[in-house]
Amino acid sequence: TNKITSRTWELVTDVKHPETGEELINKEKIDTVLKSHSSIKEFAYILHNKDTYTDEDIKKMKSGTRSVGDIKPAHFHVVMHFARAQELDSLSEWFGIDKNFFEKKKGRNSFFDSVLYLTHQSDKEQSKGKFVYPEDEVFCHFEEYSSFHEFVEACELNKEKYGKANICIKDKLRLDVLYNGMSIRQVKKNYPMEYNDDMEGLQKRRGDYLKDAPLPPYRISFYISGSGGAGKGLFSEALARALIDPDGEMSDDEIFCYIGSDSVCFENYDGQPVLIWDDCRHNELFKKLGDRGTIFNVFDTKPKRISQKKKYSQTNLINPINIVNSVEPINGFLDGLAGQYYDKSESRYVEAENDQKAQSYRRFPICINVHPTYYDIHVYEPFFGGDYSVIYKYKYAPFVDMVRTYGSDSKEYKDCCLKALKPVIELFEQAVAILSKKDFLKETDNPEKYINLGTFEPFKEFLEVHCARLRSYFNDVLNDNPSERDVEKIVSGGCDIYDVTDKATIDIIRCEVEDCIRDIKYNTM
């Protein structure tokens, strides 16, 4: 025969036999059974001796010897939760009670629902007019809670948050990491034993969370150059704190993550807002990330979803800030990213395309040259709307000396850093404002602006003004030198003269040049 098993059982039995008056069970017997079997992980029981008959009870009774409001015979409710499915036959044997007095509980919240019933405090039971038993009359043992009240309160929160009332700490942490953004740092700090027992499972779920986490609206990357001992590392950490946590409420582990060696580049990444690429020349970036395309994606001002490998999982970079530092000069670093470099195996030299230089500089719009007592700021002005790069020199900031004076963890040192870094912070805020501007389609409240999409109308003014002047210029160039066929050279010359920088406009101008070339070719045939 098939044995009846369940992980949750409830025993409901009268204290005395209704006909003979013989005692069937008492508190001492219940305690003995519950303490004697380690397979019972959690339990709660109570003596109901003030229950009264309701209309529903009377209707179910075969004889009419009871009336509504009469006191029911005293009886125990014993709810038990087991580590593994427990056989009914064993329970009947332990308690010396017939099997028909045990009820197999089903459902994901069956243990909580059965325990909650013991006091009749739920709205459902109160609506039936049942007597409410004091919580201190419940005898219980729970793995994670010290009292009936604490258990019920926690389970109600769990039920609302996780959909399951009596959830173990392992599953709770896994769900918090996977869905609620709990970091591995937080787990390690608050639940060290649980992390040790479930390291791989938690790391995998953190990777899954980061893989699908929202990307930041922008990404600003800094390059910090300086000789050995000038304070590049101190500057990098101070800048990360100043940009993310100027009030000093977060730990360094929450603010920034140091990028690891080549094979485990993102091993310690746990969603921190700042990545510090310490002592990382341009060729080191290629070793870590593989190729220029990946580098440009990782440092793109408009973040892209890029999966990176970690032990046990993969991750997605959601940091809004990168800080790279090394002894390599600023121009050497940026030109190296765009120009010549060794491939990852260092077996051959690769020549990059010339047009990559602007992309490299745009990805690091703010660069710092650190000296022992001051720093210079190199700003890529085209990023900010200007024409040329600008250097702001001699910003007094003796970071090494400040650390020696105050200590790196002191409030005085961090206050000095905030003051010293104010020019950089202001430039950062300008860069964020530029990158955070909403797309023009979202800014307008007037859809009539786009009524002419797909028609000639929006370009009338442009063609009448810009292109008329430029066509004349292009014709002059081609008439003076009919053999000139370098479209890009002609376009670049015209755009420089008339200060045209918009890509869409340049594309239209390019078409105009090609038309001019075709016209001249046709007319000279």
> Average of pLDDT values for 389-412?
88
pLDDT in tens, 95-117: 999 999 999 999 889 999 999 99
Q: Looking at per-residue confidence, does 2 or 459 come out higher?
A: 2
* pLDDT at site 10: 98
**What span, in angstroms and rounded, lies between the C-alpha atoms of 283 and 243?**
27
Q: What is the pTM of this model?
A: 0.63
Is the pLDDT at 321 greater than 60, yes or no? yes
pLDDT at 29: 97
Is the model more confident about 196 or about 1?
Answer: 196
Crossing angle between the packed helical segments 232-244 and 422-435, to the nearest 10 degrees: 60
- Could you tell me if 442 and 270 are in contact, meaning their C-beta atoms sit under 8 angstroms apart? no
In this predicted model, what pLDDT tens digit does every residue of 462-518 receive, in sequence order? 555 666 666 666 667 767 776 666 777 877 777 777 666 666 667 667 776 776 666
pLDDT score for 394: 79
**pLDDT tens, 215-249?**
999 999 999 999 999 999 999 999 999 999 999 99
Tell me the percentage of the chain whose pLDDT exceeds 90: 56
Q: Which CATH number applies to 220-435? A: 3.40.50
Q: By the 8 A CB rule, do 267 and 311 touch? A: yes
The position carrying tokens 């409420």 is 249
What is the C-alpha separation between 219 and 85, in angstroms, rounded?
53
Q: What is the mean pLDDT of the chain?
A: 85
- The alpha carbon dihedral of 323, 380, 383, 494 has a sign of negative
Residue 520 makes CB contacts below 8 A (sequence gap 6+) with 475, 478, 479, 482
Asked if the model's pLDDT at residue 346 lies above 60, the reply is no
The confidence band for 456, taking pLDDT boundaries of 50, 70 and 90, is: low
> What are the pLDDT digits (tens) for 382-392?
898 876 677 88
pLDDT tens-digit map of 141-174: 999 899 999 999 999 999 989 988 888 899 999 9
Query: Quick check: 89 and 102 in contact, CB under 8 A?
Result: no
pLDDT of residue 466: 60
* DSSP structural state of residue 40: E
Tell me the CATH number of domain 5-167, given options 3.40.630.10, 3.40.30.10, 3.40.1310.30, 3.30.420.40: 3.40.1310.30
DSSP secondary structure of 178-246: HHS---HHHHHHH-HHHHHHTHHHHHHHHHHHHHHSPPPS--EEEEEEE-TTSSHHHHHHHHHHHHH-T
Which range among 5-9, 135-139, 166-170 shows the weakest confidence by mean pLDDT? Answer: 166-170
What pLDDT is stored for residue 445 in this prediction?
47
Q: Confidence band (pLDDT; 50, 70, 90) for 440?
A: very low
Q: Sorting pLDDT into bands at 50, 70 and 90, what band is 177? A: very high
**Lowest mean pLDDT: which of 45-54, 411-420, 506-515?**
506-515
Percent of the chain with pLDDT over 70: 82
